[in-house]
Structure 1
């Protein structure tokens, strides 16, 4: 078992979840928070089975921060 930090975003049409510390695109989605979390956990397991542990970054972040920044557009 390995612990992953997972970002879960709430959108108007559901939830999107993705892990931190995996090389490549691994995404889960669902109508609820729990569905998105379950889906991303399944996606992580499948991705590891197909590509192996090499897709894991050498070091996982101890903490994750979310920041806001204004950008001229």
Structure 2
């Protein structure tokens, strides 16, 4: 049976961090670019499965990448204030 892992990639001020969902244990990748973090987490997933065997997952891995940009949410102090001083989104 094939198993697709969703990989979350987060952009941080000092680079990118990537981690899979649906894998037993903690597996993380990092890099200066999106591609480096994705490559690193794929390598970490393969190492994790080689190390822990079928206990890590019961499925064969299939690599399929979808990139989505999530808009930045403005902090409250960047939102316009109402006349009474309260913030409203």
TM-score norm. by structure 2 comes to 0.59
How many residues are paired up?
58
The separation in 2 between residues aligned to 1:57 and 1:33, in whole angstroms, is 28
Q: CA RMSD in A?
A: 1.9
Aligned partner of 1:61 in structure 2 is none
Deviations 1:40-66 (A, max 9, x none): 0000000000001212279xxxxxxxx
Deviations 1:19-49 (A, max 9, x none): 0011111000000000000000000000000
Decide whether the 8 Å contact of 1:24 with 1:55 is kept in 2. yes
Decide whether the 8 Å contact of 1:22 with 1:57 is kept in 2. no
TM-score norm. by structure 1 comes to 0.72
Decide whether the 8 Å contact of 1:21 with 1:57 is kept in 2. no
The separation in 2 between residues aligned to 1:45 and 1:37, in whole angstroms, is 12
4+ aligned runs moved over 2 Å, structure 1? none
Larger radius of gyration: 2
1:9 aligns with 2:10: yes
The separation in 2 between residues aligned to 1:10 and 1:53, in whole angstroms, is 31
Instruction: Say which SS state the counterpart of residue 4 (structure 2) adopts.
Output: coil
